[in-house]
């Protein structure tokens, strides 16, 4: 009689409750108990992405994230050169101002 009860209460093969659990860490510090897919994680946790591998995929990934180009290599280089130019201009202006003050003092 015990075996017939077990057959009625147990889930059929391939049922979600018999699948291995996801096991991802939850916010509370426990483990996700959702049934895992082929990669071992549930639908919500999906596992780590391997990312694009082909050169075309890498290029597509780079251009998909580009929004304005303010922080591209070219823009950073241009901003760096502009800062250096402004620093040099300020130094030249300070040098000119100092030389004028010394000339005025000499005349007086």
Task: Determine the pLDDT at residue 59.
Answer: 87
Residues 34/19, Cβ–Cβ less than 8 Å: no
Q: Which residues pair with 25 in a beta bridge?
A: 31
Provide the H-helix boundaries in 1-108. Answer: 2-9, 55-65, 73-107
| String of DSSP letters for 64-79 | HH-SS-TTSHHHHHHH
Q: What is the mean pLDDT of the chain?
A: 80
Residues 39/24, Cβ–Cβ less than 8 Å: no
CA distance 37 to 30: 19
Q: What's the pTM?
A: 0.38
Task: Determine the pLDDT at residue 89.
Answer: 95
Which is more confident, 78 or 71?
78
Q: How confident is the model at residue 76 (pLDDT cuts 50, 70, 90)?
A: very high
For residue 78, pLDDT beyond 70 = yes
């Amino acid at each position: 009689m015990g075996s017939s009860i077990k057959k009625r209460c147990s889930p059929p093969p391939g049922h979600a409750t018999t699948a291995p659990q996801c096991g991802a860490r939850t916010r509370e510090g426990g483990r996700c108990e959702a049934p895992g897919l082929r990669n071992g994680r549930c639908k919500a946790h999906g596992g780590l992405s391997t990312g694009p591998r082909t050169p075309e995929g890498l290029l597509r990934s780079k251009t998909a994230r580009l929004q304005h180009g303010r922080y591209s290599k070219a823009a950073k280089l241009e901003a760096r050169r502009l800062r250096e130019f402004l620093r040099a201009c300020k130094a030249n202006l300070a040098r000119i101002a100092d030389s004028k003050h010394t000339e005025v003092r000499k005349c007086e």
